[in-house]
Structure 1
Amino acid sequence: MTIRAAIRLSGIAMFCAAILLGETPNPALASERVVIATTGGAYDAALRKWWFEPFTAKTGIQVVSVAATNAEMRAKATAMVKTGNVSWDLYPDGEIQVSSKDHLAISEPLDSFCAQFKDRQDLVPDACIPAGVRLFSTSTLMAYNPQAFKGNKPETWADMWDTSKFPGGRSFPNFDDPWRVMAAALLADGVKRENLFPLDVDRALKKLDTLRPSISLWWKTGDQSVQGFRENDYSIGQIWLTRASALKAEGRSIAWSNKAAFLVGDRLTVIKGAPNRDNALKLIAFWLDSPEIQAKVCEALLCTPPSSTAIMMMPQAVRDQMPSAEDVRDSIVIPDAKWINEHAAELLERWNNWVR
């Protein structure tokens, strides 16, 4: 078969597949693409199945995902912008980080793009802001294996420090965003959530000293956190709700507590000088314009989508597991993004000196 014939057959196959999916193929060139970084694993799989592939079927634009940790994404994006050699188009950055000066220096301002969504009643008011577009909200929380304990189950950060009542290994993240570990330590030490910020770093590290012998895993990626749980490296750990829900979907024995949780989220960031900027914006618009896709992604990852319509499309059993308004009001900590960004370098230096 000649190369030309093979290409022709491939194009026919793509056309037929799109028809079967109920989509009208877009005459976009096969070379058109958009490159997005994700944290890989179950996170990337859910985005690919429910968002990237439907987008490609509708537009013909290929979505190329590259796996990296959150710290690697920020470092890579910064380096690419500084050198003028940008090979990625967008990545999800943390809700806290997008308001920092460092983020704004390497991201494409989205003022004009966001104008089309300002009157959308189904979207949360800050779904689209100049610094980035809300992918979803979730939480970092305490998850545990309920089969590891008889009787009462752990609910608070103080319970995580109680190794007599709740024996077994512990797990915490160790990357460039240590505030949540310090905050958990302070809450375990009796600090009220309304008095949590500014963080008392000395007190937090002193409290962490008492638990350090029981910490069996310092994870750097979401995949490491779930793999450690699968292999019984720890019985209680601080992980992302999206990863905990993926473990539950596997049939693992896992539970979590919204009484030991921090409200976090991801925003889609278009990198300054992105080679496929227009396609990146099309991908983001497709997300905001598709509540059914948001619903499927957040059903898989147990997150809160930016569209209220999407939330109503999710099964009631899934919605019941999402942090409720009462959880946010009564238990879940909303971090002080301004303070964290202003003290990020100091926090990281203190953390690195302690953890090594």
Structure 2
Amino acid sequence: MLKKIGSIALITVLSSSLFACSKDETTANSGQGSAAAVQKLTIVDWDSELIEMRKKTIIEPFEQKYNVKIEIETPPDYGKLKAMVDGGNVTWDVVNVDSFFGTLAGSQGLFEPLDYNIVKKDGYTDKTAGEHFIASESFATVISWNTTKIDAAHAPKTWSDFWDVNKYPGGRSAYKFPAPIMEMALLADGVPADKLYPLDIDRAFKKMNEIKKNFKTWWTNGAQVPDLLVNGTATISTAYDGTITLQKQKGTPVDFTYENAIRSYEGWVIPKGTKNKELAMKFIAFATSPEVQAEFGKTARYAPANQKAIDLLSEKDKERLGVTPELQKQQIMADDSYWIKNFDQVQVRYEQWLLE
């Protein structure tokens, strides 16, 4: 599933389209390490707050253990990554990408195969640890709302509620992308979660037509959502769980539910042709180990991908991140394999639908 809080620019990279996605666009450098003869590793990651959490729990401990200076660039521009690999001028060593891109681009030769003699799969499944991609954290697309307009006792819980403009009048907003709004529409129309894939696209568009006029805006950056809710543009919107969690901590009058949330992964890849492949592999091994992932999960807004790391978290942290057994049962896991096969044709139809 394509997450990213940011612009979708070229979707022609791998099939007929190439997309560039970004979170909050900031650039940061990190690295301790003593000066001379220190190895250097360039990592590309998403928003500044996520980077700060990773610096404290993953990057700085790795620098100290391996006498490495890590430089961080942001955001992971998929078009730039492909151009580097195609041109044989790779300056990025490790990149954080969404699982859709990690799987698809890996199969088309953009990434080095992961060495699972170095990187350990303990706590991972075949879906979260593939030939070229291993998940670092998961995130959920959730239903969010303005708490000054909707109180907790009457809060929406399902995508059917999202679609109910009589019960919840006002504008709607969602990520300007065919995934996961297709899943949302079908769930709202009564399709059981375990029967969701393959998606019935005709049925999804028919359901989307019911509230098309209520979509006052389509967001392209997850950080936009709290503003859209607070300024009244939308009464209810899709959002990323971590974005709303952060805003709640800051006192912004927004909330969300994990019920019916659609969960996806992002994780690490190594661009084909990097000069630091061995060190990059060591970094990924370190960053995905249960103990290190658990430390990340204690402070981050997104859940560790390694199940053994989740097991090490407190119940309070598991609940905050939406990964208690009870909360996980309420959520739907996005099917990247479906989108890899069907993205192009659905994207074309979705773009046409927006213009109608």
Q: Evaluate the alpha carbon distance shift between residue 87 and residue 352 of structure 1 in structure 2; reply closer, same or farther with a 3 A threshold.
A: farther
| Larger CA deviation: 58-67 vs 239-248 | 58-67
Q: Which residue of 2 aligns with 1:11?
A: none
What is the aligned partner in structure 2 of residue 29 from structure 1?
Answer: 37
Task: Specify the alignment match of 1:131 in structure 2.
Answer: 132
Does residue 64 of the first structure (1) align with residue 66 of the second (2)?
no
In structure 2, which of residues 70, 78, 101 is the aligned counterpart of residue 74 of structure 1?
78
Counterpart-to-counterpart distance in 1, 2:78 and 2:324: 31
**SS in structure 2 of the partner of residue 115 of structure 1:** coil
Partners of 1:196 and 1:96 in 2: CA distance: 18
Greater displacement, 154-163 / 200-209: 200-209
1:89 aligns with 93
Q: Hey, what does 1:166 align to over in structure 2?
A: 168
The one-letter code matched in structure 2 to 1:139 is: A
Q: 1:338 to 1:290 in 2, by over 3 A?
A: closer
**8 Å Cα contact 1:243-1:301 kept in structure 2:** no
The alpha-carbon distance between structure 1 residues 301 and 241, as it changes in their structure 2 partners (threshold 3 A), is farther
Q: What is residue 247 of structure 2 aligned with on the other side?
A: 247
Q: How does 1:102-251 map to 2 (within 5 A)?
A: 103-110=107-114, 113-118=115-120, 120=122, 123-126=123-126, 128-150=129-151, 151-175=153-177, 178-229=178-229, 231-251=231-251
Amino acid in structure 1 at the alignment position of 2:57: W
Gaps of 5+ in 2: 1-30
In 2, Cα distance between the equivalents of 1:79 and 1:95?
20
Q: Provide, for residues 142-187 of structure 1, a one-character-per-residue CA deviation record: whole Å limited to 9, x for no partner.
A: 1223332144110001111112222333221124xx2211110111
How many angstroms apart in 1 are the aligned matches of 2:69 and 2:290?
18
Please tell me whether the aligned partners of residues 106 and 133 of structure 2 are also in contact (alpha carbons under 8 angstroms).
no
Larger Rg: 1
**Are 1:43 and 2:50 an aligned pair?**
yes
| Contact 2:119 2:285 survives alignment (8 Å) | no
Q: Secondary structure at the match of 2:70?
A: strand
Per-residue CA deviation, residues 76-124 of structure 1 (Å, 9 max, x unaligned), is 22222222222222222223443336654211101xx21245574xx23
Give me the identity figure in percent: 25
Amino acid corresponding to residue 337 of structure 1 in structure 2: D
Given the superposition, is the C-alpha separation of residues 184 and 290 from structure 1 closer, same or farther in structure 2, using an over 3 Å criterion? Answer: closer
SS at match of 1:238: strand
Q: How many residues are matched?
A: 322
TM-score normalized by the length of structure 1: 0.79
Partner of 2:280: 280
- Residues in 1 aligned to 2:286 and 2:121: alpha-carbon distance in whole angstroms: 17
The answer (yes or no) to whether the contact 2:139–2:303 under 8 Å persists in 1 is yes
Residue 325 (structure 2) pairs with residue 325 (structure 1):
yes
Distance in structure 2 (CA, Å) of the matches to 1:281 and 1:54? 16
Contact 1:98 1:104 in 2 (8 A): no
Give the 3 Å change call, closer, same or farther, for CA 342–308 of structure 1 in structure 2. Answer: closer
Tell whether the 8 Å contact from 2:81 to 2:271 is kept in structure 1 after alignment. Answer: yes
CA distance in 2, matches of 1:228, 1:60: 45
Q: Secondary structure at the match of 1:343?
A: helix
In structure 1, the partner of 2:16 is none
* Aligned-partner Cα distance in 1 for 2:93–2:305: 22
Give unmatched runs, 5+ long, in structure 1: 1-16, 19-24
> Partners in 2 of 1:351 and 1:134 — Cα distance?
28
Alignment RMSD: 2.9
